[in-house]
Amino acid sequence: MTSQNPDLAELGWTSFFASQTTADCVERAIPARVMAVHRGLINIAGDGFEETIASHLDDACTDKDYPTVGDWLLIERHARRPLRLLGRRSLFFRRAPGSGRRLQLIAANVDTLFIVSSCNADFNIARLERYLVLAREAGVTPVVVLTKADIADAPEDYAAKARGLQSGLLVETVNALDPGDIGSLSAWCGKGQTVAFVGSSGVGKSTLINTLTGAQDIATKGIREDDSRGRHTTTGRQMHRLAEGGWLLDTPGMRELQLTDAASGIESVFEDIVALAAQCRFADCSHDGEPGCAIREALDTGTLDAERYRRWHKLAAEEAFNSATLSERRARDKAFGKMVKSVMKDKQRDKRR
């Protein structure tokens, strides 16, 4: 293995992608992975080569048809242009602010999401749940990494709380500063594997990343590349090599992830609440005092934790808001405006009487 020219398997090529290629396209095209995206240009790496090409794809129709970091493309062997985007194993995306249903793709084909929190005041169950929903929605395996175990009184207490969130949830406690103490994470960082990180500021993401990449300072790693016309562009590299052979996918977008179209992710993280709601007498029960409400009953008897219910309610409301189309929001605002107007009219009429 050379770190300069990784082969396809080292880049993350698996039978999942190989099975999407046919004999004739193998003749005409070669696979390459998108290492960085930069205004109409992509930085790609394939078997023994790395170059920057235009990202244009002829058959792209929807926002999801465009290549993003981590994607696999078939590249025309001679003309060096993308022919086809291969189906993804996983995808992180978000809705662009203020523009209705437009999607911004953030990262594709991430295998593992390290959800980083620390064994101190930052530890927050609601935040962990939120990230678990994101991981579920993207189709990525979540691993909760609790840092600062070396300076916490009882790191195992935090780990136990996190494990209580979902059966089978993977939770590791580490000292992110110590390369000898992050061995538990290597199972997800080996050859061909791609990981990404989320977590709030100060929890130790950069520390962990530096330790996992072998102490190269990732914040300072910008690269200059030739674009297809021979001009120079400065691009932030978005895929970083890990010491164990895998890849760290790091884009600014990962830090701004919101819940959008995450209804099924929320349902799977809160499946106990969904199961209870299915037992309410009314299918559209708002769990707000209706008769025969299974949620109320579970809250009253203590089988459902009130805090957990409250967290679910908040996430579900946020998801519904983010997923509403612009026209839905406008219609709602319009209906609200109408209602305000008619109330004002009634008031004025009352005054005149």
Ligand X SMILES: Nc1nc2c(ncn2[C@@H]2O[C@H](COP(=O)(O)OP(=O)(O)OP(=O)(O)O)[C@@H](O)[C@H]2O)c(=O)[nH]1
Q: How near is the Cβ of 204 to ligand X at its closest, in Å? A: 3
206 binds Mg ion (CB under 5 A): yes
Q: Which stretch binds ligand X (CB under 6 A): 7-15, 24-32, 64-72, 173-181?
A: 173-181
> In this structure, what token pair is assigned to residue 151?
């300076």
The total of other beta-carbon atoms located within 10 Å of residue 47's CB is: 15
Is the CB of 206 or the CB of 268 nearer to ligand X?
Answer: 206
Q: Which stretch binds ligand X (CB under 6 A): 9-17, 45-53, 187-195, 205-213?
A: 205-213
What binding mask, one character per residue, do residues 251-280 give for Zn ion by CB under 5 A, x or -? -----------------------------x
Q: Where are the beta strands (DSSP E) in the chain?
A: 29-38, 41-46, 49-54, 72-76, 82-85, 91-95, 103-108, 112-118, 141-147, 170-173, 194-198, 222-226, 232-236, 239-241, 247-249
295 binds Zn ion (CB under 5 A): yes
Q: How many residues bind ligand X (CB under 6 A)?
A: 15
Residue 117's binding partner among Zn ion, Mg ion, ligand X, none (Cβ under 5 to 8 angstroms by kind) is: none
Of 95, 105, 101, the residue nearest 71 (C-alpha): 105
Q: Which stretch binds Zn ion (CB under 5 A): 47-55, 148-156, 209-217, 282-290?
A: 282-290
Backbone angles phi, psi at 115, to 5 degrees: -95, 105
203 binds ligand X (CB under 6 A): yes
> In this structure, what token pair is assigned to residue 308?
């957990």
Cα separation, 235 vs 224, whole angstroms:
6
Among 205, 287, 296, 311, interactor with ligand X by CB under 6 A: 205
Is the CB of 45 or the CB of 295 nearer to Zn ion?
Answer: 295
Q: How near is the Cβ of 203 to Mg ion at its closest, in Å? A: 9
Among 162, 285, 304, 315, interactor with Zn ion by CB under 5 A: 285
Of 84, 14, 78, the residue nearest 56 (C-alpha): 84
173 binds ligand X (CB under 6 A): no
Contact (CB, 8 A) for 228 and 44? no
Of 173, 172, 171, the residue nearest 151 (C-alpha): 173
Is the CB of 104 or the CB of 206 nearer to ligand X?
Answer: 206
Is the CB of 218 or the CB of 263 nearer to Mg ion?
Answer: 218
Contact (CB, 8 A) for 289 and 296? yes
Please count the CA atoms within 13 angstroms of the CA of 249 that sit on its side-chain side.
Answer: 31
Among 3, 15, 167, 201, interactor with ligand X by CB under 6 A: 201
Cα separation, 293 vs 267, whole angstroms:
18
> In this structure, what token pair is assigned to residue 139?
């189709």
Is the CB of 237 or the CB of 255 nearer to ligand X?
Answer: 255
200 binds Mg ion (CB under 5 A): no
Q: How near is the Cβ of 150 to ligand X at its closest, in Å? A: 5
Among 43, 52, 68, 147, interactor with ligand X by CB under 6 A: 147
Give residues in contact with ligand X (CB under 6 A): 147-148, 150-151, 175-177, 199, 201-207
